[in-house]
Amino acid sequence: MLFNSFHFVFFFVIVTAIYFAIPHKFRWFLLLSASCYFYMVFVPIYILILGFTIVIDYFAGIYLEKTQGKKKKWFLIASLIANIGVLAVFKYYNFLNENLTILLKTFIIQNPIPYLSILLPIGLSFHTFQAMSYTIEVYRGNQKAERNFGIYALYVMFYPQLVAGPIERPQNLLHQFYEKHYFEYERVVDGLKMILFGLFKKIVIADRLAIYVNAVYNNPEQHNGFTLIVATIFFAFQIYCDFSAYSEIAIGTAQVMGFKLMTNFNRPYFSQSISEFWKRWHISLSSWFKDYLYISLGGNKVTIPRWYFNLFIVFLISGLWHGANWTYIIWGGLNGFYLVFAIITKKYRDGFSNLIRLNHFPKINGFFQIMTTFILANFAWIFFRANNLENAALIIKKIFTQWGELFIPTSSMMAYSFFSILFLLVIEIKREYFNEKISFMYNKNIVVRNLSYSFLIILILLFGVFDGGQFIYFQF
């Protein structure tokens, strides 16, 4: 079920109304049933895959708590293999097989392994990682094993964040299912505001920009470098609005019912370095990789070359997490390279900054750093968005060698796209730098508040793309 659909509006209103109407002891069951329905709207049969990992991890959790020593480690490994195994089959099998075919072809050998004709279950990487965080935390002793199977299933399947995060941790979410939530005015209204703003970002900005981005990126051979740069910048805003919108709607939906989910985005395009960017972009995934992979590899408490390796490998795997395609792997690797390169060159960059006295003008320096980070992120987005590596290479080549007139399908479409980015920037700048001073949706005056809500709704009706379709991150 898509958040930006009438189906979801009805679903959300009905589930929330019943949630507050029924006694607390039945609420987990309502949320679990609703979550099952929410997931089954996509491809019903795939609920069985979820069910499989839920059963495995539920018992793994209990045994992990009960046992010690080597046996405990084996239970963890078994649970991780089950989770990663499902991911491997549904997400990576055909990709690996395809690459094997190419490899064998070079030796003129035919690949005997058949391809699987399967659809990738929606949000598989998200709920797999959330399930894995549970078993790892139980293994580490930071979380007690959940005995109520229904509550554990709900932890994995909680519908607001089931298909595209935020990827929650058991310490933050599990206990909330036992707490009684009342209908609190401020909390409910704040949650609804987040949903409204999320819908605005998705329908008015992300889906609007997607029209141009898709037209250009799906036919890069027909466009020049200038058009490809504009499409790449549009994509940077599209993916930000698309994904952060999903997170805001998820967090808002949960908040209306009394649940607090973790923040997933914090205006990443104001980052002054790639390292900061990853602390502001998809925070729940970045922190997952940090907590469960980077630190497990030794983090920065190892030799310097090993530290660089740790950083690079984490981002490479992060790229692979996003999709079974070399474009994602290179995107991840590129981000890892940025980070390592930034660490290696920090001394020289600071020295250069001192030399030209840029550090005496912190605002100008900050602006340059923001722009540099944005350009680097955009360059990496080319790989993320390109349909394949050949297209990515062609796009980069054209950007550097072939300039011309900007492709304008219709002037109104371009105008809406530019205005939507401008509107977003105004809001983001206000939130980043002037949040305390100017407030519309959180203004003390009820008239200003009501007018700002109405204004957003009118903008959605006037400029929203109502046939935009699903969120980008659903495919992961």
Say whether residue 434 binds other proteins (CB under 8 A): no
Answer for which of 82, 188, 206, 395 binds other proteins (CB under 8 A) is: 188
For 352, what's the count of Cα atoms within 13 Å in the CB-facing half-sphere? Answer: 6
For 416, what's the count of Cα atoms within 13 Å in the CB-facing half-sphere? Answer: 21
User: In whole angstroms, how close is the CB of 206 to other proteins at the nearest point?
Assistant: 15
Contact mark string toward other proteins, 21..40, x via CB under 8 A: x-------------------
φ, ψ dihedrals at 444, nearest 5°: -70, -25
24 is catalytic: no
Q: Which stretch binds other proteins (CB under 8 A): 61-69, 136-144, 154-162, 411-419?
A: 411-419
**Contact present, 162 and 469 (Cβ < 8 Å):** no
Answer for which of 275, 313, 451, 470 binds other proteins (CB under 8 A) is: 451
**Distance between alpha carbon 225 and the CA centroid of its chain, in Å?**
28
User: In whole angstroms, how close is the CB of 410 to other proteins at the nearest point?
Assistant: 8
Residues 6+ apart with CB under 8 A from 465: 203, 204, 207, 208, 210, 211
The label of the residue with tokens 């952060």 reads: 244
Say whether residue 412 binds other proteins (CB under 8 A): yes
Q: Which stretch binds other proteins (CB under 8 A): 55-63, 117-125, 235-243, 453-461?
A: 453-461
Among residues 81 and 458, whose Cβ is nearest to other proteins? 458
Say whether residue 467 binds other proteins (CB under 8 A): yes
Residue 68, sorted as left (phi over 0), alpha (psi -120 to 50) or beta, turns out to be beta
Among residues 29 and 466, whose Cβ is nearest to other proteins? 466
Contact mark string toward other proteins, 190..229, x via CB under 8 A: --------------------------------x-------
The label of the residue with tokens 């490479």 reads: 316
d(CA 362, CA 175): 44
Among residues 100 and 448, whose Cβ is nearest to other proteins? 448
Among residues 65 and 207, whose Cβ is nearest to other proteins? 207
For residue 272, give both structure tokens: 């002054």
Among residues 34 and 441, whose Cβ is nearest to other proteins? 441
d(CA 24, CA 179): 8
Among residues 4 and 271, whose Cβ is nearest to other proteins? 4
User: In whole angstroms, how close is the CB of 263 to other proteins at the nearest point?
Assistant: 25
Answer for which of 382, 385, 464, 472 binds other proteins (CB under 8 A) is: 464
Say whether residue 185 binds other proteins (CB under 8 A): yes
**Contact present, 154 and 30 (Cβ < 8 Å):** no
Q: Which stretch binds other proteins (CB under 8 A): 126-134, 229-237, 354-362, 465-473?
A: 465-473
User: In whole angstroms, how close is the CB of 14 to other proteins at the nearest point?
Assistant: 16
Sign of CA dihedral 340, 344, 345, 346: positive
**Contact present, 336 and 311 (Cβ < 8 Å):** yes
Residue 399 corresponds to which amino acid?
I
Answer for which of 2, 20, 28, 229 binds other proteins (CB under 8 A) is: 20
**Contact present, 217 and 398 (Cβ < 8 Å):** no
CA dihedral of 57, 320, 283, 426, whole degrees rounded to 10: -140
Task: For the segment 290-319, give every residue that binds other proteins (CB under 8 A).
Answer: none
Among residues 215 and 358, whose Cβ is nearest to other proteins? 215
User: In whole angstroms, how close is the CB of 404 to other proteins at the nearest point?
Assistant: 13
Answer for which of 29, 74, 178, 183 binds other proteins (CB under 8 A) is: 183
Answer for which of 171, 296, 387, 450 binds other proteins (CB under 8 A) is: 450
Say whether residue 405 binds other proteins (CB under 8 A): no
Residues 6+ apart with CB under 8 A from 322: 125, 328, 331, 332, 384, 476
Catalytic hit among 127, 223, 282, 322: 322
Distances (CA, A) of 274 to 120, 125, 377: 30, 24, 8
Number of residues in contact with other proteins under rule CB under 8 A = 29
Among residues 304 and 408, whose Cβ is nearest to other proteins? 408
Distances (CA, A) of 11 to 7, 263, 328, 366: 6, 24, 34, 45
Judged on CB neighbours under 10 Å (0-12, 13-18, 19+), 48 is: exposed
Which residues lie near other proteins (CB under 8 A)? 5-7, 20-21, 182-185, 188-189, 222, 411-412, 415-416, 450-451, 453-454, 457-458, 461-467
Q: Which residues are catalytic?
A: 322
